[in-house]
Structure 1
Amino acid sequence: MGKPHPVELQQRVVAHVEAGNTHTSAAARYDVSVKFVNEMVKLKPETGSLSAKPQGNPGGGKLTSHADWVRSKVDAKGEITLDELLLLADEKQISVHRATVGRLLQRLGLTHKKRPASA
């Protein structure tokens, strides 16, 4: 993900528009896009600040709240496949992809790779 523009630049752009200039002239003067100027002008009254919004995924997922349930199913059965866990997720009426189950198992440290026997 890209880095946000410096707050000083954002303040100068908004001040330029508030001084009565157009969004297009502000974009040309500060070498930014018109869309950036539009977003900054809208952001200031909405949030009262020009600080950048948080980026990325805040964490978690559909199964995070069910992690204890998944761990108990794995402990009870010993070895269980992703497809079997998907069927169990259907019992709890959760619609997830098998990759989602796999990522949860990785976060919980419950993955197991089969390795060929050494000669």
Structure 2
Amino acid sequence: MTTPLSQDLRRRIVRAVETGSSIRQAAARYEVSPSAAVKLMRRLRETGSVTPERIGGHRRSVLEPHQDLLRSLVDAKSGITLAEIQAELRARGIVVQALSTIHLMLKRMDLTHVNAG
């Protein structure tokens, strides 16, 4: 993953474009990709800022609020499969597309004795 352009470089690109350079000329001058300069100028137009957005971070599991339900499903049926858990969740209006999402949540909860099938 690439790192964001420095604030100084962002300001220099914007200044070059505002003083008459094309976006592509400014990108070449400061040795950044044309798409990076285009996105920078679009961000400036849309938000009024050249500050980069936050990169990365931890996304919370969609199942985090349903830990008690998951625990009760696993406790209620010995050997329950991930597909069965997925079906039970769907019956309660909780749609989980990937079985791996359920598996990872169960692993975080230290409930790993569930059948994968």
TM norm structure 2: 0.80
CA shift, 1:74, in A, is: 1.8
Identify the residue that residue 23 of structure 2 maps to in structure 1: 23
Q: Does 1:92 align with 2:92?
A: yes
Q: Could you say what the CA RMSD is over the residues aligned between the two structures, in angstroms?
A: 2.3
Deviates more, 1:4-13 or 1:93-102: 93-102
**Counterpart amino acid of 1:80?**
I
Count of matched residue pairs: 114
Q: Distance in 2 between matches of 1:24 and 1:86?
A: 49
Deviates more, 1:22-31 or 1:46-55: 46-55
Identify the residue that residue 107 of structure 2 maps to in structure 1: 106
CA shift, 1:57, in A, is: 5.7
**What whole-Å deviation, never above 9, does each CA across 1:75-112 have from its counterpart, x for those lacking one?**
33354321221221232133322111101111222113
Percentage identity across aligned positions? 36
TM norm structure 1: 0.79
CA shift, 1:39, in A, is: 1.0
**Counterpart amino acid of 1:103?**
L
Listed as ranges, the gaps of 5+ residues in structure 2 are: none
Q: Distance in 1 between matches of 2:70 and 2:113?
A: 15
Q: Distance in 1 between matches of 2:56 and 2:68?
A: 25
